[in-house]
Structure 1
């Protein structure tokens, strides 16, 4: 990294951050006058990209989903580019000075090694985190691997399992664990009778999978029953306590107390925005983002937000495919305009983001079934298995995102 150059900083090395970095090097940088004056800085707390979509299968099926399949070294993905054009920093953003246009980065665990890096343009893509270390990466791969090792060992002895969360992650996790421990009922049986392990899923609502229509959610619940999972609706976990003997006591919002051998929190995510000033955040802690241009207007010129950290999105890979070209095309326009004397460049039309609100979700349940919809069209169980259930998108989406091949052509 050269401080005399115009730094383009991308904060985050997950879906949004990697995509923004690849798109910049493939399509923005080559089009800039004096492109060697610009330097891309990719900042991420971990040296690895975790394809978190695969986590539900990794919990109970290490043979089918070892960590080597869904952890990818970030540095390797960028060896295809000229090394003079970018720098990868393993660190964490701790402060943003919008007046000085600089980001403070904590490198490693010590605040002594803090660096303040000036930016010419900034992409905030720090993502979100889950309560459980099973489903997202924070500081490094080792934390996730330790959590996976622990849960796999305890699953071998467990007789009762409680999973909180009726969204895709909770449903997929329950399905994978259910089939792994209980097997599955035959096609003509409505439920698995006398399962070996009692598995309970708290949906917290009147149905599971809130992003899908009720008929598809009902089908998912039926498939869960075939692997010995009982779904309890309209009850949420509000607190949990480790009992010291390997069991967990969970308090529900109706006052009920459940003691379980294993408790898995697969509900809710929190945006990684605690390092930002409150004036840049909305009431849910997300970065206030212009819903059309994906700029962070309150942060000054040439600042953008992408992915789970931003207020414009409801999340998901499909949304990422739509949003990344918009933000990066607008960045290209802004970078050219600031270095151009032509008024027409500055006044040229922005690329506009349009949210994809169609019913788009694929949810495998165990190793051979699944439910879902694409662009509002119902999908059969076989199609869900074929496209996602076989390898949880490792061979398609993970490779596209990690390698940048998804952005081979400018959109």
Structure 2
């Protein structure tokens, strides 16, 4: 058996876990047959996977969707494999030496302790974060869980709510908040008959849900109105301040100031790429990636980018899960060629790459309280189907399937 090579995956999100399980299931066994020994490292700043898809409902009330159901220990998902083949590290990548082919990780249990690992192959799957820790991980899962529970307490007595951001997260959060606090309009009514709270959704665009067509975006506004949500267009939140009583005042781009019991920023995302050298990122901080092969070619051989941290990503499950087979196929191709090469590990394989083709069609599903809007490849989806597939439980069943590798 040859020396052990390190295969490192930075990030324990859906993309990172998908590649990790695929490697252990389909690639490592073939490499072992060729006398090659690999050790997989899965590194994430959270010890638990977070199903952020369910956060719009969970932030409103634990009675609707308890926060506990959104999390699952990453390490538990790998117990079916030989433990000598992998290591799960709870830590944050703080630097990446491209020339030396190493990554340095700050361990979560001791911020003064770092470890540097050499890699033979590297997958960057560190994802992105939203402004609120309640809707994305901002480090360990305990931070997100606490943020959700804090919002649950505020929503319990809220009579005013402001949500900023007209994308899917903002619309879903506003819809859940409105339905929870105000109920839903009756037959032939456009608004609830006895609303308990003023819920306002602010967007800096002239329409909601940029991926969807204008008619579907207008339908989304109608559904929001039916749960007592008002939509304000072409205005953005410039800043916000929270007082000692927990109320938040938002400062708007039009000069106005509004105060609410609950404020949730749901606009803009930031790539988790601070560990990466500046020359490997674009102006927004996303990793520069070959959009077809999903390799970070400027970083040298056998470096791949999975999920939203790459500059190729448009986001959305249909694109995320479409990237995993491409990355896995190219990883397998590269490592098997290296394993059988007699003149060096970086020789060019004879077989062609598997290429990624993004789905840029109008594809999105957005629950809004008891209803929803959406489309697949430009074809509109009926409201009840969006509720059935996503809005019923925000697909919480996929938590275990993702962590355990059943999704791949």
Gaps of 5+ in 2: none
Q: Map 1:323-334 onto structure 2 (within 5 A).
A: 323-334=323-334
How far did 1:12 drift? 0.3
CA contact (8 A) 2:67 2:149 kept: no
Aligned to 2:285: 285
Q: State how far apart, in whole Å, the 1-side matches of 2:226 and 2:112 are.
A: 55
Match in the other structure for 2:364? 361
Q: How many matched pairs?
A: 403
Distance 1:61 1:247, change over 3 A: closer
In 2, the alpha carbon distance for the partners of 1:132 and 1:351 equals 36
Structure 2 residue 172 is the aligned partner of structure 1 residue 172:
yes
Q: TM-score, normalised to structure 1's length? A: 0.94
The structural deviation recorded for 1:263 is 1.1
Q: Is the 8 A contact 2:3 2:36 kept in 1?
A: no
Q: How far apart, in 2, do the equivalents of 1:230 and 1:312 lie?
A: 34
| TM-superposed deviation, 1:238 | 1.1
Equivalent in the alignment of 2:116: 116
Cα distance in 2 for partners of 1:34, 1:105 equals: 31
Q: Which runs of 5+ in 1 are unaligned?
A: none
Q: How does 1:91-130 map to 2 (within 5 A)?
A: 91-108=91-108, 110-130=110-130
Report the counterpart of residue 13 of structure 1 in structure 2: 12
- In the alignment, what sits opposite 1:382? 384
Q: Distance in 2 between matches of 1:272 and 1:256?
A: 32
CA distance in 2, matches of 1:187, 1:319: 38
Residues 136-189 of structure 1: CA distance to partner in whole angstroms, max 9, x if unpaired?
A: 122222212211221111122222111101111111111111111111111321
Does residue 1:391 correspond to 2:393, yes or no?
yes
Structure 1 residue 194, shift from structure 2 partner: 4.9
3-state SS, counterpart of residue 307 of structure 1 = coil
Distance 1:97 1:170 in 2: 37
Query: What is the CA deviation profile of residues 268-325 of structure 1, one whole-angstrom value per residue up to 9, with x for unaligned ones?
Result: 1100011111000001110000011100011110000111100111011111221111
Residues of 2 paired with 1:338 and 1:122: CA distance? 15
Query: Partner of 1:406 in structure 2?
Result: 407
Deviations 1:353-389 (A, max 9, x none): 11111221111111x2111111221001110011001
Determine the C-alpha separation between the residues in 1 that align with 2:155 and 2:329: 48
Q: Are residues 333 and 312 of structure 1, via their aligned partners in 2, closer, same or farther at CA, if it must alter by over 3 Å?
A: same
Deviates more, 1:240-249 or 1:287-296: 240-249
Change (3 A) 1:35 1:88: farther
**1:134 matched to which residue of 2?**
134
How far residue 36 of structure 1 moved from its aligned partner, in angstroms, is 5.6
